[in-house]
Structure 1
Amino acid sequence: MSGEDNYSASPEPAPAPSRKRKSAAAASASKSKKARASTQNASTGVSNPVAKQLVQTVLDNAPSYEDGNNPQALGNQLVLLANYARELEEDLARGGGQAMVKPAKSRADLEAAADKLRRAAMSGIKKQMSWKPSCKMGSAKWSYDGICADPEVFGVLMGLDGPPTWKMKKFSREDFEEAVGEISASARYSDLEITSKDVTVRYSDEGTFKFSGSYGIPQPEPDTGF
């Protein structure tokens, strides 16, 4: 045999396995499925039934979460969160997730929202008017923290011509009670009232507000000699 006959050629290497690619039809079907799911979620708002029920529970029981005895109450934050979630849910249901301009609230809507805040504030302040030794001198302290995300509503609450243009302002006791309501409580056979000459009102860009002042037994007016 010749040298050529004794030579055995090496076997050719097997071709590397190629990755399977999705067909154009499969890719298109996948995209369509995702689009349908996105549209369905947008049209129905919040898809988690537990979250939806929590939102409704907080909104239905807002006064109990806004307890003035707990200025740092997580409840206030829950109310704000629930209102925000509800607004998102309604916007998604109406516009399919697209940004929408909310219609301006009517005067009746503003007054209704302000009245709800007013009643919650009155209740919260009264709950703080418990007896303390400093009540004898009318120097016991009170403060109430609340949430009002709409500055126009807060303006109506405080009897302003529009949204507040300040972060802190002092209202006379008379002006404050004209806006919020006359506040008094009874303890140890004594009538307790707001006694501070002024009530400090704060409002932040984040939509939180704070009222603070003094309370106790009303003090007699100083004798001026006239």
Structure 2
Amino acid sequence: MAKLSASTASSSGRRCEKRGGTVAFGTIAAILVLIGAIIALTMPSKQGGSSPLSRLFADAQCTEPCVPGSEAIMKQKAHGTSEYPVQQNLRWEVDWDTADRINNFNRHYAEFAGYWESTSFLSEFKENIENESGEVTFYDSGWKGSPLFTAPRDRSWKDFIAESKKHGWPSFRDSEVDWDYARVLPGGEMVSVDGSHLVSENCCIQGVCVQY
């Protein structure tokens, strides 16, 4: 049986190393291309806008009774995305600075989960909750104060409270939305027609963005 010389074995080893290096480089390049594609699909097309991927899914989600809106609603105005700051003396001891910041200078974030439970909402409506009676209308904290939600509707107070606690924010169903004043933008962001950011993905709602 023929034996490989030292030079032949060394040359063969170098070729294997070269092929291995080429494969590794190709794998790394493919991973980088994939990462780039993911970033391109998920990154907003402009500041405050939505990504191509989120727009694709959101367009399919906004069906009746949902009313779609355009990015023009949230264009920059005199006070962030609104003409004026949020109203003074918000109900249920909601913090004004937090409400104004999230309403008018924000497109993606909310107050911390569970914040709504630290307000006086639950105590004010304790009797309604215990007796399963009545509804409450939630108004835009923005300068016009348009009605946005009426709840609970087509469900019990118990269900409304339980779902809101589970999600971390007051949570509304389509039938509880006043679609005359609420819109869903490409990407899933829910806003008021007057430029208040309500929620990044319908349909939980930031407690500070509705006037209790």
The answer to whether TM tops 0.5 is no
Q: Please report the TM-score for the alignment, with normalisation by the length of structure 2.
A: 0.26
Question: Larger % of strand: which?
Answer: 1
Higher-Rg member (1/2): 1
Q: Which has the higher contact order (CA 8 A, sep 6+)?
A: 2
